[in-house]
Homo-oligomer: A and B are copies of this chain.
Amino acid sequence: MTNGAILIISGPSGCGKSTLLKKVYESIDDYYFSISTTTRSPRVGEQDGVDYFFVSKEEFEEDIKMGHFLEYAEVHGNYYGTSLKPIKQAVEEGKLVIFDIDVQGHDIVRKKLNDIVTSVFITTPTLEELEKRLTSRDTDSKDVIEKRLSNAKTEIKYFQKYDYFIINDDLEEASKQLVSIANVTRIKSKLFEKEKIIDNWLK
């Protein structure tokens, strides 16, 4: 695997990841956004191959046996995982592969592919601000919001495992930071090409 790179984004639901990622997509043309595979049923509006790859439990377990997953986890009786094959291909094609995964997934991917991973943890300035955002977007029940807040408090403890940490306080500033990190990740990964340029300089 040469030339490509992996950018992992983690952060609580409601921290603004999707909005920030849109800015990255506008700025970088050569990226591949990793789509997870899951056994849970599609929610209204979710599309297979866009939001997730939806598969049966049997298919998922067969893929686990075959070693097809880079990482996977079982959450509330459903499997969620990242297939290795499309990632491998995108990295070989020199793309910036972007993952939106949780702290646990970050740990596993970093262990397996440390050399090409850069990671960013994104969060709101305070827990209260996260609660405000989750409440005002009005998509989750009170119970789900409580669960998300409790998860957020647990996940933020692991921020030091990440290369970067962004406080999404000001959207413009936070996007500038994330886009810069994505650009720099690209620059680092192109070192192989650069060595050829040096050879040319010194010939």
Interfacial residues, chain A to chain B (CB-CB below 8 A): 123, 125-127, 153, 156-157, 159, 164-167, 176-177, 179-181, 183-184, 187-188, 191, 194, 197-198, 200-202
Contact = CB atoms under 8 A, between A and B. Distances in A.
A166 B187 contact: yes
Contact of A125 (B159, B177, B184, B197): B197
B180 A164 contact: no
Contact of A164 (B123, B164, B179, B187): B187
Most chain B beta carbons < 10 A, residue from A179, A191, A197, A201: A201
Contact of A180 (B125, B159, B179, B201): B179
Contacts of A176: 183
A197 B166 contact: no
15 contacts: A156-B202, A157-B202, A164-B184, A164-B188, A165-B194, A167-B197, A176-B183, A177-B184, A177-B187, A179-B180, A180-B180, A180-B184, A180-B187, A181-B184, A184-B184
A159 B200 contact: no
A167 B194 contact: yes
Contact of A183 (B165, B167, B177, B188): B177
Contacts of A202: 153, 156-157
